[in-house]
Structure 1
Amino acid sequence: MSTTETRGMALGIDTLDGLHWLGILCALVSAGVHLLIGAWFFPSTLGISFVLAGLGFVGAVALVLVDFHRRAVYAVGIPFVLVQIVLWYWVNFVGMGKSFPADMGTLDAVDKVAQVVLLAVLVVLLRR
């Protein structure tokens, strides 16, 4: 068998290539940022929304690792990431009147770079 067994769950990592791993890294970076910000604002509605978004990224990574309908994960991931980017821009630069990119913080920059790269990876993976 070409998959690795871990406590009864088969990992499908033998079919992952460098592009997959780049996407996984980007998703985990964004998950980490969202979970960190969520913890700062928890238990407010904003904090809960950040935690849920972070868990969404982690869940998607898990689904890809176990090779569970990867194409569907890519297809759902594209609008998920797009909504993240649009909401971030709308809340920060339209709603709060900040100046783009002058008012971007380090976490914002790290997260958005990871999300833009992830978005590109998802599009390429879906088109394969």
Structure 2
Amino acid sequence: MSTETASDGLALHTESMTGLHWAGVALATVTGAIHLWLAYAFRADDTALAVAFLIAAVGFLGGVAAVLLGYRRRLFYVLGIPFTAGQIPIWYVVNAPDFGATGIADKVVQVLLIVVLAVLYRRGS
């Protein structure tokens, strides 16, 4: 069943989602989870950085929720592009010259997410 009603009355609207939509959901979930994990990891050492990671995680996971609920998808695609793209130079400035494998993997995920969002937006999906 492609449309399910959650216990809180919200309905998932996944019937119109394509493989590209699901790829975007997966990519945004991965980067959202990484940022959530980083928020947890930095909570004691650098509260400001932990809060920034938490805000990023909420942004990515909130976008996933909006797409799954079918709420103004095109708006979330177009807002998601600069939101995601903005993460890359911030990561570079904060981490240069010591780039870890997790950060690099996350940036690859984010670049792929930007491509997916741009294609979805252009298609009017």
* TM-score under structure 1 length normalisation: 0.88
Moved over 4 A (4+): none
Query: Structure 1 residue 113 and structure 2 residue 108: aligned?
Result: yes
* Higher-strand-fraction structure: 1
In angstroms, what is the RMSD of aligned CA positions? 1.5
Measure how far apart 1:55 and its partner are.
1.1
Measure how far apart 1:40 and its partner are.
1.1
Structure 1 residues 69-107: Cα deviation after superposition (integer angstroms, max 9, x where no partner)? 0000001000000111121112222xxxx1xxxx43121
**Whole-Å separation in 2 of the counterparts to 1:29 and 1:3:** 23
**Whole-Å separation in 1 of the counterparts to 2:77 and 2:51:** 24
1:1-128 superposed matches below 5 A? 3-7=3-7, 8-42=9-43, 44-93=47-96, 98=97, 103-128=98-123
**Whole-Å separation in 2 of the counterparts to 1:47 and 1:5:** 34
* TM-score under structure 2 length normalisation: 0.90
Identify unmatched segments of 5+ residues in structure 1: none
**Whole-Å separation in 2 of the counterparts to 1:4 and 1:35:** 27
Using the aligned pairs only, state the percent identity. 44
Structure 1 residues 34-77: Cα deviation after superposition (integer angstroms, max 9, x where no partner)? 11111111151011110111111111000000000000000100
* Counterpart secondary structure, 1:11: coil
**Whole-Å separation in 1 of the counterparts to 2:28 and 2:39:** 16
Task: Give the number of aligned pairs.
Answer: 120
Identify unmatched segments of 5+ residues in structure 2: none
